[in-house]
Amino acid sequence: MSKVSKAVVVFSGGQDSTTCLIQALNQYDEVHGITFDYGQRHSEEIEVARSLGKRLGLVSHKILDVSMLNELAISALTRDSIEVSNELMENGLPNTFVPGRNILFLTLAGIYAYQLGANSVITGVCETDFSGYPDCRNDFVKAMESALNQGMDRQCEIVTPLMWLNKAETWALADQYKSLELVRDETLTCYNGIIGNGCGTCPACLLRQRGLEDYCNNREQVQSDLASKCQK
């Protein structure tokens, strides 16, 4: 009997994690989701993730309360009193950066994968076309993977399908799985908690919209670029 392939997807209900989830459902026998409630500014994403998880067919979907992160990590995404800004802070990072967030999320997702017997943790972080967060870089992910494998004495790969894709190519990937409209209309990326096209002015919405416009205007070229990257 062949071994059942299992994966855990870090799932926020946004464009990137939903695209990763859709791809995973086509690549693994069992796909489990894990969503984190850390008192985030756009808390509506939790209900969006819950709804999409049911619709897309997750085997299980764990929603964890990690609100202690809100107490420690001061950011525009954890404090309503801090306005989301397009300007960088003095340290060169966006004020939407939540320090330690992906360290915590990947650690907990790795523990969940251990309990499920899954050998893959999938996350939608990206170094090519991102918001400047240091915990979205490939070097960070590889360091976390090494730490988890050493700390739990078990091989588990952190898979990053979007790491080297720009936003247009991420849209192309969703389209490849016949899910562009679902991702466009039903995911929540907006920092102000508006589903679909969002507010249109926050950094997340601007990045998402530019990518969609680029894909729609250069569909064949973007699809070709995506195919070339996927073959590497």
Q: Would the CA dihedral through 71, 77, 80, 81 be positive or negative?
A: positive
- The reply to whether 198 sits in an annotated binding site is no
What pLDDT band is residue 94 in, cutting at 50, 70 and 90? low
Q: Which fold has domain 6-231?
A: Rossmann fold (3.40.50)
Tell me, what's the pLDDT at 12? 94
Beta strands at 120-122 and 157-159: parallel, antiparallel or unpaired: parallel
Q: Is the pLDDT of residue 76 over 60?
A: no
- The reply to whether 18 sits in an annotated binding site is yes
- The reply to whether 230 sits in an annotated binding site is no
- The reply to whether 13 sits in an annotated binding site is yes
- The reply to whether 136 sits in an annotated binding site is no
- The reply to whether 123 sits in an annotated binding site is no
Q: Which two tokens stand for residue 127?
A: 């170094």
Contact 117, 6 (CB under 8 A): yes
3-state SS class at 110: helix
pTM over 0.85: yes
Taking the C-alpha atoms of residue 89 and residue 39, their distance in angstroms, rounded to an integer, is: 22
- The reply to whether 17 sits in an annotated binding site is yes
Contact 81, 103 (CB under 8 A): no
Q: Which two tokens stand for residue 109?
A: 């997702």
- The reply to whether 202 sits in an annotated binding site is yes
- The reply to whether 21 sits in an annotated binding site is yes
- The reply to whether 221 sits in an annotated binding site is no
Distant-in-sequence, close-in-space partners of 135: CB < 8 Å, separation ≥ 6: 100, 101, 102, 103, 125
Q: Please report, for the chain, the start and end positions of each structural domain, with discontinuous segments joined by +.
A: 6-231
Tell me, what's the pLDDT at 133? 81
Contact 68, 44 (CB under 8 A): no
- The reply to whether 16 sits in an annotated binding site is yes
